[in-house]
Amino acid sequence: MEQPMEQGGMYCREGIKELLDVAKETVPGSLWNSTPLVLKATAGLRLLPGEKASQLLDKVREVFGESPFLSRGDSVSIMDGTDEGSLHGSDTTTVGMLDMGGGSTQITFSPQDEKTIQTSPIDYITSLKMFNSTHTLYSHSYLGLGLMSARLAILGGIEGQPLEGSQELVSPCLAPDFTDHWEHAEVVYTVKGQKAGEPIYESCYNKVEKALYRKVKKAEEVKEMSFYAFSYYYDRAVDIDVIDEKTGGVIAVRQYTEAAKKDFPAHLTVDQRP
């Protein structure tokens, strides 16, 4: 019987091969050996124990080495938080980027207000050289505030630490009679809903607010900016039916809140909750 890690490596290998097949259909064969391959893993992989993360990256290196494309020793790695945010950098001064994975969420934009540059933590401001031009970016990756890691924090769990004995995580975002198991970063947690009689939306909102307290640095100018939002931001917008799954759309942040107030049914599973 295959172990979970071996299965993960197999899925990883096959997934990369599928992507390379698409590349072969797109890139002319004469250019394959001069077309570089790069894979930068994000926070979700950083949450795995070092050995398991390394094994998955080794699988990718093997596939890269077997492919006809150009790969080097540093073609596969785990990026740091600044790189993760800068990956979504834009040279359009009025548009920022938001991305949310399972382990972290990123914000990147080109600051127009000098106050933003002067008052932000030094590691939030970075320079990116592209096409002979240097761009100043506000870019930060909030490790622990991806959808799954934030959910664990809201539940009251600690990253990488399984519960002891009969311990349970109690969530105000779940119905009183709810009990189930939820797996995150290879740890299985037992979760249950709050006690009966509590207002679910208000209790859940307060819990989320406490989980985020002093963890997010506010840049005032973003209130007037437009952002492209990816990954779980997109998925949740589809879930609440404010954008089309295939074509996307334009929404305001308040629509997430309005949907939560309107559609907070008691029957949602833990995987469908915030």
Q: According to the annotation, is 272 in a ligand binding site?
A: no
Q: Are 85 and 139 in contact (CB under 8 A)?
A: yes
Six-digit token string for 231: 């990954």
Q: According to the annotation, is 102 in a ligand binding site?
A: yes
What whole-number distance in Å separates Cα of residue 107 and Cα of residue 221?
13
The question of whether 84 is a catalytic residue gets the answer yes
Measured over the CA atoms of residue 233, residue 239, residue 244 and residue 249, the dihedral's sign is negative
Q: According to the annotation, is 29 in a ligand binding site?
A: no
Q: Which of 14, 25, 84, 198 is catalytic?
A: 84
Q: Are 102 and 148 in contact (CB under 8 A)?
A: yes
Instruction: Give Rg (Cα) of the chain.
Output: 21
Three-state SS sequence of 207-262:
HHHHHHCCCCCCCHHHHHCEEEEEEHHHHHHHHCCCCECCCECCCCCHHHHHHHHH
What whole-number distance in Å separates Cα of residue 271 and Cα of residue 260?
15
Residue with tokens 């030094």: 122
Element (H, E) at 11: helix 4-26
Q: According to the annotation, is 171 in a ligand binding site?
A: no
Q: According to the annotation, is 104 in a ligand binding site?
A: yes
Please give the full DSSP string across 84-109, using - where no structure is assigned. Answer: HHHTT--S-TTEEEEEE-SSEEEEEE
User: Annotated binding site for ATP, which residues?
Assistant: 102-106
Which residues are identified as catalytic? 84
